[in-house]
Chain A
Amino acid sequence: MKKIEAVIKPHKLDEVKEALQALGISGMTVYEVKGFGRQKGHTEVYRGNEYTVDFVPKTKIEIVVDDDLAPKVEQAIVDAARTDRIGDGKVFTFDCEGAVRIRTGERGSEAL
């Protein structure tokens, strides 16, 4: 099993979700996060005084899938989340050692 974590632009979440559902993915976990990469932050001005906001709002997705599905999921996220502008985000893939469905006690791929 592989765990895939992706940090994307928040407004791209729906498109990514639909792309993953089209691959048959039946579940995912989503966080609202803040961070920065090459995009850096932006400047806000209140009553003439500038404040630099370093952390930009992003959405983070986590999914665990079977090994053979992982490259397709990775590519689906990249295709759906891409705007070709700076700040589109990143996708990370990790090995996942185990999974249990709490209700039934099913383990491994059965639990996904």
Chain B
Amino acid sequence: MPAVDTGSTAWMLVSTALVLFMTPGLALFYAGMVRSRNVLSSTMHSLFAMGLVSVIWAAIGYTLAFGGDHGGVIGGLSHLGLDGVVGAVTGTGPSAIPTSVFAMYQGMFAIITVGLISGAVAERMKFKAFVAFAALWSLLVYSPLAHWVWGGGWLQKLGALDFAGGTVVHIASAAAALAAALMLGKRKGYGTEELRPHNVPMSVLGAGILWFGWFGFNAGSALGSGQLAGSAFLATNLSAAAGMLAWTAAEVLTGRKPTVLGAASGAVAGLVGITPAAGFVGPMPALAIGAITGCLCYFGLRLKSRFGFDDALDVVGVHGVGGATGAILTGVFASVTVNSAGANGLLFGGGLALLGKQLVGVGATIAFSLIASAIILKCIDLTIGLRVDEESEATGLDVAEHAETGYEF
């Protein structure tokens, strides 16, 4: 059995657990923003993904992403049921880690990506329909995308950079969220009733857990322990911080009060923005990426009411706008002095070449996820039905779909 690096293995085990922990963090972040009668239904979307996607990933998702290559589009079936994973080694030298750890680490990304989509469907989607969607989407959209970018697929060969999943995770989930919001329709009372967050402290706790877990998400994407993990960790923290400051500054400078949900959302926006760039940029570019993403997400969301769809918890506004901004800015700020396996962006003498590849990555991800998600959703709508009936929506999905209530006052 080939030797693994124990330091890198230890860090990747920790990172795997950190990324898993993001999903209950996301559950709290989202659940605080819905009305109290839907708090459990929203929580269950993320929670259940931890069970469902773990199994799907082990059975077939992993091999479709990382089991060989078919035309740069999708992996093969060589690791069906995680066959051949235990005992194998991924990476070389100081980055040699057990393939079992690599497979688990990547599986955590598949889980949270499905969880992210749930923000758009909150307060009105049938649980059964969500489960069917999560299962199909994870196999038919997530695995191919992960293959394109990390599994030796065409975007990786093209040279598009996505360190930790700006396209695969954030843009992909946002495009799916857009398709779902359009096909589900608006929540009852959207635009007329107060659809206010019921527990902002819960959302803030969730955002804190996300920030914490994101260190595993980004610094873990170095797939080893060393200089690259360190610089990705540093960039991640700075971008989150700058995102928070930028969002709050934007609120105050536009004559609003500095809101708590805004500060938390700004940090999340900064984290989304740095995700594709984390292992390719230095600390000051990371600050710039966080600040720009925080501002763009804030002003993007202020326009929300002008769009004709109800993206309940702003998956498009935060993960779509933030993910695309980060992917494009990677083409501006990337530097080979940070990561020799990367490329130079616009500001570091790389010209427009990388920027062009980044745009291809963003465009291809949006197009594929949007279309594939719409087809999956249409199939589910014709069989199970996507949306709960009007009475269930008025009662709240906690009682109607789960026979529970979140609170007893």
Residues of A at the B interface (CB closer than 8 Å) are 44-49, 51-53
- Interface size range of chain B in the complex: 20 to 34
Q: Is the CB of B196 within 8 A of A46?
A: yes
> How far is A46 from B264 in the complex, measured between Cα atoms in Å?
11
**B317 cross-chain contacts in A, Cβ below 8 A:** 47
Q: Is the CB of A45 within 8 A of B194?
A: no
A-B interface contact total, Cβ < 8 Å: 36
Q: Is the CB of A51 within 8 A of B196?
A: yes
**B158 cross-chain contacts in A, Cβ below 8 A:** none
The chain A residue with its CB closest to the CB of B254 is A48
> How far is A46 from B305 in the complex, measured between Cα atoms in Å?
12
Q: Is the CB of B259 within 8 A of A49?
A: no
**B262 cross-chain contacts in A, Cβ below 8 A:** 47-48
Q: Is the CB of B265 within 8 A of A47?
A: yes
Given contacts A46-B259, A51-B194, 7 further A-B contacts (CB under 8 A): A46-B261, A47-B259, A47-B298, A47-B301, A47-B317, A48-B299, A48-B302
> How far is A45 from B262 in the complex, measured between Cα atoms in Å?
9
User: Contact check: which of A47, A48, A53 meets B194 at CB < 8 Å?
Assistant: A53
Task: Please encode chain B, from 291 to 309, with 1 for each CB lying within 8 Å of some chain A CB and 0 for all others.
Answer: 0000000110110110000
> How far is A52 from B193 in the complex, measured between Cα atoms in Å?
9
Q: Is the interface of B mostly helix, strand, loop or mixed?
A: helix
> How far is A53 from B251 in the complex, measured between Cα atoms in Å?
20
> How far is A48 from B300 in the complex, measured between Cα atoms in Å?
9
> How far is A64 from B317 in the complex, measured between Cα atoms in Å?
55
Residues of B at the A interface (CB closer than 8 Å) are 33, 194-197, 251, 256-257, 259, 261-262, 265, 298-299, 301-302, 304-305, 314, 317
The chain A residue with its CB closest to the CB of B300 is A48
**B251 cross-chain contacts in A, Cβ below 8 A:** 48
User: Contact check: which of A44, A45, A49, A53 meets B305 at CB < 8 Å?
Assistant: A49
Q: Is the CB of B301 within 8 A of A45?
A: no
The chain A residue with its CB closest to the CB of B203 is A46
> How far is A48 from B301 in the complex, measured between Cα atoms in Å?
7
**B265 cross-chain contacts in A, Cβ below 8 A:** 47
**A47 cross-chain contacts in B, Cβ below 8 A:** 259, 261-262, 265, 298, 301, 304, 314, 317
> How far is A45 from B302 in the complex, measured between Cα atoms in Å?
10
**A45 cross-chain contacts in B, Cβ below 8 A:** 256-257, 259
15 contacts between A and B (CB under 8 A): A46-B196, A46-B197, A46-B261, A47-B261, A47-B265, A47-B301, A47-B314, A48-B256, A48-B298, A48-B301, A48-B302, A48-B304, A49-B305, A52-B194, A53-B194
> How far is A53 from B257 in the complex, measured between Cα atoms in Å?
16
**A46 cross-chain contacts in B, Cβ below 8 A:** 33, 196-197, 259, 261
The chain A residue with its CB closest to the CB of B314 is A47
**A49 cross-chain contacts in B, Cβ below 8 A:** 301-302, 304-305
**B298 cross-chain contacts in A, Cβ below 8 A:** 47-48
> How far is A38 from B194 in the complex, measured between Cα atoms in Å?
21
The chain A residue with its CB closest to the CB of B266 is A47
> How far is A47 from B262 in the complex, measured between Cα atoms in Å?
6
> How far is A28 from B200 in the complex, measured between Cα atoms in Å?
34
The chain B residue with its CB closest to the CB of A48 is B302
**A44 cross-chain contacts in B, Cβ below 8 A:** 196
Give A34 Cβ to nearest chain B Cβ, in Å.
Answer: 12
The chain A residue with its CB closest to the CB of B302 is A48
Give B294 Cβ to nearest chain A Cβ, in Å.
Answer: 12
**B197 cross-chain contacts in A, Cβ below 8 A:** 46
